[in-house]
Amino acid sequence: MEHRGLGLPALLALLAPCCCAAPGPTLWPMPLSVKTSPRLLVLSRENFSIYHDPSSTAGPSCSLLQEAFRRYYDYIFDFNKSQLGPAKRNSAVELKQLLVSVVLEPECDLYPSITSDESYTLAVEGPVAFLKANRVWGVLRGLETFSQLIYQDSYGTFTVNESNIIDSPRFPHRGILIDTARHFLPIKTILKTLDAMAFNKFNVLHWHIVDDQSFPYQSVAFPELSNKGSYSLSHVYTPNDVRTVIEYARLRGIRVIPEFDSPGHTQSWGKGQKNLLTPCYNGPKQSGTFGPINPILNSTYCFLSQFFKEVSTVFPDQFVHLGGDEVEFTCWESNPEVIAFMKKKGFGRDFQRLQSFYIQKLLGIVSTVNKGAIVWQEVFDDHAKLNPGTVVQVWKNEMYPVTQAAVTAAGFPVILSAPWYLDWISYGQDWRNYYKVDPLDFDGSQEQKKLVIGGEACLWGEYVDATNLTPRLWPRASAVGERLWSQQNIKDLEDAYDRLTIHRCRMARRGIAAEPLFTGYCNF
């Protein structure tokens, strides 16, 4: 029996008369190709294990895989519902092993990147199932899918259908933005989020770490930044905390891209770094308030050089997010020295040129430390000269397909966030709106469309902290996850609803407080 792409409607219809809790395989996000047969295999905790295939290029020395095997073993068998009897079904073949084989150089001790190969194939048949991938990243994705294939029947027996899966993501950049400046997020919350991301095959944590309200990042070169800029000394991410997050993410195939947003959104930087921000003027006198980073001083760029040098060593990802959004020009306009500088440079009254001047210098600094840059769309909109390869993140909702077209026409890669601002909550099933978005739905050539590298669901922190982050992110972000991983034709909302309700219960079972989609219950 063969079912492709769109799912297992006939099979599920047999097993799942209602929307919730019927046992059966439920995959999220939907893989590229799924073939299932009605032939069932059984597994038991005592008799099943995950091993390296002898032909694999990776082995027990690969701690990333060892950790993953242990983790997924627990996810598969650590259900609340205890097995009521011995594995029944004398006729059913037992699945004894999952053999994992990495084909190419595993990249076990490397960090994931935008070019990481996440593809895998899964052949589940008794008594040995095979998971094959080019790199460890594919193994991680495949393990998640394998764990989703297994379910408990009404006797509590762990069951899996014979299946054949070929899978790889549609977009290579599938991210979640968290904001730890508007509210400090305890490390535990961040790690929980990484777990949930792995369940949904997200692979980028966009860490919007500092902003106007607070500066929790503890800099070794500039300790006063967090000493003076954090909400309190206990609301700080030490270098150890940061390392913990990065490694926890790496073990799940997730990149950590930090965002140090400037020149706007920097009020908290001024507390610990004197003369960094532009002093605003009220007529001829300083008003005592401050604006964006002061772009006219050499000391600014000296500071930024040192700061981003540190950032580039602390965060191993190839890319850094530089922000560049919502720069308020009023303070610059009020400052006579800035005005004089503008005149000298021939910028006239066009503050976009001053902004671009700043950004371009910052981009230069960042490329000196061998990092790529991601910026918010204003940087592009306001005509800064960007190095090729600079990624533009599209976040403004008005006519965002037009923005996508413009950015890709100019040859820059795009990350789409505009329709996926998850902090904008409303009553009802808004996940459907997120699911319906198609990131390639804009006027452009094939070449242009190739420049859309993916998207990010953003959870800005004005109204979010550890008390409500998880239910607010999940399962709404899961809708975005499938849209970015699965093929374009996977868009049936009813099938998505059926699978997502079960996937949500699975996340809840694994300790993620994902909120319900609608009325119903979880079968545990």
Partner 1 sequence: LWVWPPGCSVLDEAFQRYRDLLFSSRSWQPPEPARKQHAPEKSSLVILVGTPGCNELPSLESGENYTLTINDDHCFLLSETVWGALRGLETFSQLVWRSPEGAFFINKTEIEDFPRFPHRGLLLDTSRHYLPLTSILDTLDVMAYNKFNVFHWHLVDDSSFPYDSFTFPELTRKGSYDPATHIYTAQDVKEVIEYARLRGIRVLAEFDTPGHTLSWGPGVPGLLTPCYSGSHPTGTFGPVNPILNTTYEFMSAFFLEVSSVFPDFYLHLGGDEVDFTCWKSNPDIQAFMKKQGFGNDFKQLESFYIQTLLSIVSAYDKGYVVWQEVFDNKVKVRPDTIIQVWREETPVHYTKEMELITRAGFRALLSAPWYLNHITYGPDWSEIYMVEPLDFKGESGELCLRTRGGWAGWLISPCFFVSSCRRGVQAQPLNVGYCEQEFEET
Minimum gap (Å) between residue 426 Cβ and partner 1 = 6
Instruction: State which of positions 6-45 bind partner 1 (CB under 8 A).
Output: 21
Among 60, 70, 240, 463, binds partner 1 (CB under 8 A): 463
Which pair of tokens denotes residue 31?
A: 């893989």
Which position among 224, 326, 447, 462 bears the catalytic label?
A: 326
Contact 358, 373 (CB under 8 A): no
Stretch that binds partner 1, among 106-114, 124-132, 309-317, 455-463 (CB under 8 A): 455-463
Please tell me the count of residues contacting partner 1 according to CB under 8 A: 42
* Residue 521 is a binding residue for partner 1 (CB under 8 A): yes
- The Cα–Cα gap between 211 and 215 comes to 7
* Residue 267 is a binding residue for partner 1 (CB under 8 A): no
- Return the bridge partners of 277, or none: 293
Contact 133, 119 (CB under 8 A): yes
Assign residue 401 a region (left: φ > 0; alpha: ψ between -120 and 50; beta: otherwise).
alpha
Which pair of tokens denotes residue 448?
A: 């242009």
SS3 label, residue 179: strand
CB-neighbour burial class of residue 520 (10 A; exposed 0-12, middle 13-18, buried 19+): middle
Among 48, 184, 358, 420, binds partner 1 (CB under 8 A): 184
Q: Where are the alpha helices (DSSP H) in 151-238?
A: 187-199, 224-229
Among 186, 244, 306, 337, binds partner 1 (CB under 8 A): 186
* Residue 423 is a binding residue for partner 1 (CB under 8 A): yes
CB-neighbour burial class of residue 2 (10 A; exposed 0-12, middle 13-18, buried 19+): exposed
Which pair of tokens denotes residue 318?
A: 């190839």
* Residue 189 is a binding residue for partner 1 (CB under 8 A): yes
Instruction: State which of positions 327-356 bind partner 1 (CB under 8 A).
Output: none
* Residue 475 is a binding residue for partner 1 (CB under 8 A): no
| φ and ψ at residue 361, rounded to 5 degrees | -65, -40
Stretch that binds partner 1, among 170-178, 398-406, 448-456, 462-470 (CB under 8 A): 462-470
* Residue 515 is a binding residue for partner 1 (CB under 8 A): yes
Contact 99, 53 (CB under 8 A): yes
Of 345 and 521, nearer to partner 1 (C-beta) is: 521
Stretch that binds partner 1, among 124-132, 217-225, 249-257, 470-478 (CB under 8 A): 470-478
Stretch that binds partner 1, among 82-90, 102-110, 337-345, 463-471 (CB under 8 A): 463-471
As a whole number of angstroms, the longest Cα–Cα distance in the chain is 90
Among 113, 306, 429, 487, binds partner 1 (CB under 8 A): 429
User: Active-site residue 326, yes or no?
Assistant: yes
Of 433 and 468, nearer to partner 1 (C-beta) is: 468
SS3 label, residue 43: strand
* Residue 183 is a binding residue for partner 1 (CB under 8 A): yes
- The Cα–Cα gap between 216 and 229 comes to 7
**Residues with catalytic function:** 326
Interface residues toward partner 1, by CB under 8 A: 21, 182-184, 186, 188-189, 192, 213-214, 231-232, 234-235, 423-429, 461-468, 470-472, 513, 515-521, 523-524
